Amino acid sequence: MQQKDIVLILARDLAEHLSSAMFLVDHDGTLVYFNEGAAEILGKSFSDAGEMRMEEWSRQFSPMGPDGDPLEPNRLPLVIALRERVPAHTNLRIEGADGVSRNIAVTAIPLFARQEDFVGAVAVFWESE
Partner 1 sequence: MRARIWGCRGSLASPGPETVRYGGNTSCIEVRPSDDHLIVIDAGTGIRALGIALGRDAPARIDILFSHLHLDHIEGLGFFKPLWDKNCEIHLWGPSSAQKTLREDIARYFSPPLFPLHLDEIPAKLLFHDLPVEEWNIGITRLRSDAVIHRGPTVGYRMEDEGKVLAYLSDHEPAVGIDLLSVSPDWVSGYGVARGADVLFHDAQYTEEEYAEKVGWGHSSIAHTVTFGLISKVRKLILFHHDPLHSDAQLEAMLIRAKELWGHERNGLALAYEGMEIQVV
- Interaction site with partner 1 (CB under 8 A): 1-7, 9-10, 12-14, 16-17, 113-115, 117
Measure the CA–CA gap between 102 and 96, rounded to whole angstroms: 8
**121: which strand partners?**
25, 110
What minimum distance in Å lies between the beta carbon of 51 and partner 1? 11
- Cβ atoms of 77 and 107 closer than 8 Å: yes
What minimum distance in Å lies between the beta carbon of 62 and partner 1? 29
Considering beta carbons, is residue 12 or 93 the nearer one to partner 1? 12
Considering beta carbons, is residue 69 or 115 the nearer one to partner 1? 115
Considering beta carbons, is residue 10 or 86 the nearer one to partner 1? 10
- Cβ atoms of 119 and 29 closer than 8 Å: no
- Cβ atoms of 59 and 6 closer than 8 Å: no
Measure the CA–CA gap between 11 and 34, rounded to whole angstroms: 10
What minimum distance in Å lies between the beta carbon of 84 and partner 1? 22
Measure the CA–CA gap between 27 and 42, rounded to whole angstroms: 22
Q: Other CB atoms closer than 10 Å to residue 69's CB: what's the count?
A: 9
Considering beta carbons, is residue 23 or 61 the nearer one to partner 1? 23
What minimum distance in Å lies between the beta carbon of 41 and partner 1? 23
